[in-house]
Structure 1
Amino acid sequence: MTVNMSIEGNSKPMMAAESMVPDSSSIVEEIGRGDLCLQNLKNRKLGTDTPIEGTAEPIVSTPVLRSGSMPGTPGRRTTPKIAGLRATFERAVSDGSVQPLRSPGRLEKSRSLEQAREQDLQAVRAKDEEIEKLKAKLEQETGLRHEFEDKYKRLQAESARWEAQRARQEIEWRGELERHMLERDKAQDEFIEIKRQLLSLKRSISLSTRLGNQVPDSDFTSEMQHLYHELQNWVVNSSRRVKTTKSATDMLACVEGIVEPMHVEYLQALFRNWNPTMKLPLLQAVTIYYFRDVWNDPLLFGLPTWRNGVQEAAEIFKTVLPLPAYNKWQAVTLDTLKQNADIKESVDLAAKKLTGTICTILGALTGAEESSVMETSLNVIVRRAISLSHVFSVQQRAHYQFILPQPGTPFDPAKMDDTSLEACSPSHAISCATFPLVVKHNEGLEEGVPSMSIVVKAKVLCCPW
């Protein structure tokens, strides 16, 4: 059997046969070549590429024991040099420094494996390149995501800023709108009041042109009804937006602290059963209560201080003259005084004082601030009531009486009109009176004329209790 082995850097084979013993020259030559190959391997490991030339030291040949020889036959001997060379060669083969000779089939298989490894390496490189591309794309998308997140945060902050600005502007616009609406309502109220004053002036002028003649009761009724509606509208316009949280005790204490002692009893009776839902009728009742001084003046409301002398003369004439003659004297005297321009200023001052008193009391009861517009409107109504009372005073054939029912008075449908929403029966008592009863007392100059008639019914508010 023959074994072929090759050492890298040496192309000549080394053959060994168990059936023959080589001569010493061939063995020495092979050993020299082996030493040279071994030195070259060491140089490669040390990084030296220059081969070392030389001759190997001679080795004593040993006989090789042939197969099948007898025990006494001398065999092949091995020197330590050869043994070391063989061990070195085996180690080189095991380390991969020297590849053993292969058969053509094994060589082809090795090449196929190398090609497969190369293909695997190429596939790995392609995958690595694809991974690098994906990593680059991921980094790019990550950068875009961060950029869009930053842009989203900026837009969100800007949106919040615009939303806050819109909310502030909305509050400002709402406040401005409410202010304009209040101004509009105020302007409408002023327009209605001016229109009412103009109508009142026209009525006063129309009534003044007939001073020399007797005024029919229908005209008195119409004028008094118009005065009632004017006063009612003024109370509504001046107090409807005012919210009062006072109790009945607070209202009674307020009345006692602000009004004169002579008026406390009547006004406290109004607020003894105080209910905020009855605010407007009660305020109108307070207002109309102070009009009593206008209608119940024995002469003319608002005359200067010298009116005391006229009052003394009237009391004297009333005792010495018959009633028709006294009424005629009183009508002529008062008509003459009323047409005097000197008393106009005194009447205006009296009207202004009465207006201020009413506004002060209503302001204390409701807590509302006094308005010059509403005070001016009330002053016009007061002056119109004074003018109407003067017309009543100069009538020669009749005497007019103004009666304001007390709170708690039983309801009388013949003399009262209930302005509440609930039906009121005679068994009910009135809570307040918002307009007086006007009674005409005739002097009996004509036959068939009743001695008393009702010109205007009292306007009352009934609340069952």
Structure 2
Amino acid sequence: MTKERKTNRMSSSADKRRSAGPGSHILRTASARSVANPVAGSTKDGAVNAGNAVGSSSSNNNNIIAPPPRAQLGVVSVAGVSPVLGDEGPKPGDTGGGAATQKERETHGGASGSGTGGSNRKETDGQRIALLETELAVMEDEFARELDRLSRKESETATFWQGRVARAEDKARAACGEMEALEAECVELRAQVRGLKEFVSTSTRTDGQSATSDEVFGEGAARLGNGLQNWVIVHFRRAKIDFGKASEDELEELAALVPMYEELAAAAKVHLLQSFVSRVLVEMVFGAYFVGLSPEQARQFRDVEETLRSYSSEEAVNQWRSTTLTLLRREAGDKMHSETDAATERVIERINRVLDGITDIKTTDARDQALRALIVSAIDLGRLLAVQKAVFGVFMPEIVPHQQTMFDPATMEDVGGEDEETLSQRDICCVTFPGIMKRGDETGRMLAYRNIIAKATVLCSPE
């Protein structure tokens, strides 16, 4: 009876083990305390159960199904643990004593672990700080070396460029000195060339006459015309013309020089006065044989020239005239000084007498000095024209009342600067300054050729 119960109990145990699956029957046979702590779990009940299991397996091997290998290992491991002496497991009165002991162990272990971890962390931080300090020292050394290198490089660069600039300045100073020397040499060479030209010119010229280009005559005429215009504007721009207070002689002289003076008085006062002064200069300065000779001497020279024309050619006569007047101009300038001053005063007296008679402004020393300078310039220009081998003449177109004098663009220029094409069909009413015409070449030959050196300045009538 007892044997059958044991057999049934074992069968039911095997069925339960099989139903629970492999590896789980050992855990079920053990208590919760034995699972949590295998060593402490080897209590009296565990030992008894293990003994019963072993005894049952030894007595009934034929009727018990063998457990899986893992289950066997689990059983052996549980059963093979020898119980610790004195550890009889928890007693009925000691509820929770094992848990308290385990907590004390854990607390003690945690405290000891935290102390060890804190010391390890301090050591790690110290090592890290030492490493950072070492790296900082290395970086400082590298920075100092790099700074020294850059400083040396900058110093070398500055020294290089300073030397280069100094060399450039030296070269520039040397070049400036050389340029100044070359300029001085050029000036000296130009002076030598000019002297050689003058020497060649005087050596190849038999009569010693100095050549003068046509541009010199043109520039001289232009300066004289501008000076005369400025003199009239400065001294007579506010003057009022009154022919009623002038004498008959003054009006006759004005009419002989400027026939249309009455028509010009209202609309062209400045041009009227300029035309009158120009006529006087043409008649008394440019019309004279050679200013500085007395009237008797001038008449004698004219007679000799006419006599020579009857025996020689025009070329020979022009050469004689040029040579003779050049000699007078160079050698007899001082001797002709008194006669030149007398001729100048006669021109001033004639101009002032007429202008004072027809205007309300009287003569002054300043006006006479400016007029005297203009007359001296005209005398110099007239003498220069007279000593040339070519025949130079000063022309001033005649304006006759009730007769048209058309504008000629070849010999005239308008004082207003209008286009010559628009003035081709216009008549002129006043000639403000004469022109210069040249006949022949520099040697006195080919007198048929004519050239206008300076055009006459005219005032065209309004359309």
> Could you state the TM-score of these two structures normalised by the residue count of structure 1?
0.49
Higher relative contact order (CA 8 A, sep 6+): 2
Larger helix proportion of the pair: 2
* Larger Rg over CA atoms: 2
